[in-house]
Chains A and B, each alone.
Chain A
Amino acid sequence: MEFGYVNWSTNTDVVDKWNEGLVEGKILATKCTSCQRVFLPPRGDCPCGKGKVEWFEMNPEATLFTYTVIMFAPESMSERAPYVVAIGEFDNGARLLGHLFASPGAIKVGMKIKVKPEQLGKNRITIKYVPV
């Protein structure tokens, strides 16, 4: 399974586990067992170097921290433009970037949104935000 609309990165165990979570409808994050730092998107290693990371499921509800409407897209995404890129902020302070599916006129910083997986064909999956 590949993550995202376009991708140039190789899948590691961390990406595979994240993708498996998405297939099951879950947003998974990791947390360092030593310093308790939360990673969303997940990291397999904590910079503190002292602990292991453990996986947990995120509450998918967030508030819209900021957004933009991309009119002129990079080459690999030009067929999808225009699209809304948003950053959601979750109740544990984590933030995640993804597309927001809402009409640009109805978008306001601070609005309630929810992140969910979106299957993009058989071998590709991503996340998207929708208004609550």
Chain B
Amino acid sequence: MRRVAVVGAGHGKFGKRNDATLRELAYEAVIPALEDAGITQEDLEAAVVAIAGEEFAGQGAPSALVGDYTGIQPRPVFRVESACASGTSAIKAAYGLVSSGLHDIVMAIGVEKMNAVSSVRATELMARAGDTRWEYPFGVSFPGFYALFATRHMHEYGTTKEQLAMVGVKNHHYGAMNPVAHLPKEVSLEEAVKSMIIAWPLGLYDCCLISDGGAAVILMSEEKAKEYTDTPVWIKGIGSGSDTMLVAERPSLTSLTGAKKAGKAAYKMAGIGPKDVDVAEVHDCFTIAEIMAYEDLGFCSVGEGGKFIEEEQSYIGGQTPVNVDGGLKSKGHPIGATGVSQCYELVKQLRGECDKRQVAGAEIGLSHNVGQTGQFANVIIYSR
């Protein structure tokens, strides 16, 4: 396999974007990514597009629209889907196209327009990603599944509602400094703990946002990367895994089997261990998900995730800074865009371009992107 680098990255504003549809959201990520890499659409050979659910935007074959509106057409585009992990699946597909030698320059685009429908409708569409025959008929919302994990984590390890809330407080702290964040504001621990319950024990500040937005990155072969940049960010490891469709039948509800498998494979390919990670982007769709990610990725021991945040080990200055862009919680979670947005943040961190949120001297970044309730998981390791 050939070495592959990320050479350009672009990011639109995440939020409830009543001013933009799928096409504009993609455009505001793609054009800055091209400018960042110092290329034009002419130099691109292909694009892989991550859009999780066409029901949200109401557009069939949405990657064709993205390819057309961003000027990539007539170069080939295709879409990948793996729920909330679609973004990293697009990067993985692009990596395969470049490392295999089929192409030299490929773009991965992640975009989602979720607010064209009401929040109760969006909740419905996400709930239908659960098993529609056996679990959806009980009205288990997406927060509901993670609440089942949270209750069990609290029971097995004594994790507290306050510890869950601390994850949200941290992510809002950093999100408040991120110009592309959906909800860039600080939240107090008291406010977070007492927030309206969505699915017990998860309150409003334990849940990610329903966001619109896009992100794009450009992958190049080593030869091309050296031609276009002095600051390539290398893809050092990629691992993936999956999990059962029925959440009830999993042996453990305090860990994601697929995410653990993904992490292990990515560490092995990169030749590093958890303690070598300088900055991490993890899939905090809910605060409990970030706590489970600390454990699944080996940042702390099993059952110690609550303590890890309480000791501020995931803040800048702690053992492993996590989601210092605000995470899904504060930056927002336009489903298909999230994995690409994680890559954008890590590229900026590894280049030292994150200003107040910069993790000093960061050389290795990890992205952990989970789809659905663990049915999809990708971990990607990037390095300077």
Contacts and interface: CB of A to CB of B under 8 A. Distances in A.
Interface of A: 3-9, 15, 41, 65-78, 80-81, 83, 85, 87, 94-99, 104, 109-110, 126
Contacts, number: 116
B120 interface: yes
A80 B248 CA distance: 22
B137 A73 contact: no
B285 interface: no
Contact of B151 (A41, A68, A77, A78): A68
Interface of B: 118, 120-121, 123-124, 126-128, 132-141, 143-144, 147-152, 155, 196-202, 246-249, 253
A85 B124 CA distance: 16
A74 B127 contact: yes
Which 6 pairs, one residue from A and one from B, show the smallest C-beta to C-beta distance?
A: A4-B137, A77-B139, A68-B147, A75-B124, A9-B133, A69-B200
Q: Which of B118, B132, B137 has the most C-beta atoms of chain A within 10 angstroms of its own C-beta?
A: B137
Contacts of A83: 139
Contacts of B247: 87, 97
B249 A75 contact: no
Contacts of A9: 132-133
A17 B197 CA distance: 38
Contact of B121 (A68, A75, A77): A75
Contacts of B128: 8, 74
B199 A74 contact: no
Nearest to B150: A68
Contacts of A8: 128, 132, 136
12 contacts: A4-B137, A67-B151, A68-B144, A68-B147, A68-B201, A72-B143, A72-B198, A73-B120, A87-B247, A97-B134, A97-B247, A109-B155
